[in-house]
Structure 1
């Protein structure tokens, strides 16, 4: 009777872990089914939305076939197209007793320089943006001048002409009305004058 087999020892910890794992899987499966049904009932993540999104994405990636265009003639710039009598948000209203810059939408004749300022009044130390056209002045270097003590003095700035147009900006710490122009020193051609109130 000594060789009689003993019953296997019970393993309560292992049995408890197996039971816990089975319950967790069952609860997870139930939650997954509820979530899936909830999205179908509420219409979340539907195929229709995905299809619309894919369609939009495909349309945004459309590239037209390149075609040769006619060569443009004249300067490729649009100058101040708004009514100068109606101030815009980007413009500062200047009192009537102070001079304002006359902004024209006309292009300059060949060999003439037309200059304009983006704003007629800026804060002290703020950039003064300007642009213009110079038909026939391709590659020219235009030097900025300021009216000081009754004469035009060189200002430490210059800008090049490309495709008959130019644009840049300058700084000045001199408050009050500042008068500027640009000059092509090679030909002696000078632009019209612009006035900008600083401060």
Structure 2
């Protein structure tokens, strides 16, 4: 049957053509999608101004976006960098008579404590900060006044550059009194009061 040969030849070529056509279509779609996504990305970079000095709009490309002034030498500070609370008994005018112990020996170290908040909700953070001149490296224990005595609160702070900071949280309602105590020397700070509730 000679008439069957051309039909068999066409059947042998046709199974390869759908695969080849599908492959070409996939490559074509991939190129089109890539070009569209690239165009969208380029447009977004241009609109957002992420492309550098020449990629933005003509009016904003030549403007400075950051100005850094030339550095100038400054004088050393002449006064104290931290203001401490006045000593008890002095009115701050400088006219108070110095005691004998103050004139014969160096002033005693003092822990000055302050609370960042005076009233908080239960378990809200209370920031405790302060100054401890001469107490470099000391470990300070937080204490709370409860049942007529000072008891340790499970928080400590270390002194660095003569300052310290920590925070506490408590659910004890009402007025709470806190202080810091140097664990080595027993030196106590002033007390601060924070209302919980």
Distance of 1:20 and 1:154 partners within structure 2? 81
Matches within 5 A, 1:10-159: 10-12=9-11, 14-15=13-14, 17-18=16-17, 21-22=20-21, 25=24, 29=28, 32=31, 36=35, 45=42, 49=46, 53=50, 55=52, 106-107=83-84, 111-159=109-157
Query: TM (normalized to structure 1)?
Result: 0.52
Count of residue correspondences: 150
Change (3 A) 1:161 1:32: closer
CA distance in 2, matches of 1:39, 1:174: 60
The match for 1:91 is: none
Task: Give, in angstroms, the shift of residue 126 of structure 1.
Answer: 3.2
Given that 2:179 and 2:189 are in contact with CA atoms closer than 8 Å, whether structure 1 keeps it comes out as: yes
Of 145, 158, 161 in structure 2, the residue corresponding to residue 160 of structure 1 is 158
Which blocks of at least 5 consecutive residues in structure 1 are unaligned?
57-74, 77-104
Q: Aligned pair in 2 of structure 1 residues 19, 114: CA closer, same or farther (>3 Å)?
A: same
Query: Larger RCO: Structure 1 or Structure 2 (Cα < 8 Å, ≥ 6 residues apart)?
Result: 1
Verify the 8 A CA contact 1:115 1:181 in the aligned structure 2. yes
CA contact 1:108–1:135 (8 Å) conserved in 2: no
- 1:108·1:134 contact (CA, 8 Å) conserved in 2? no
| Unmatched tracts of structure 2, length 5 or more | 54-79, 87-106
Give 4+ residue runs of structure 1 displaced > 6 Å after superposition: none
* Cα shift at 1:187: 4.3
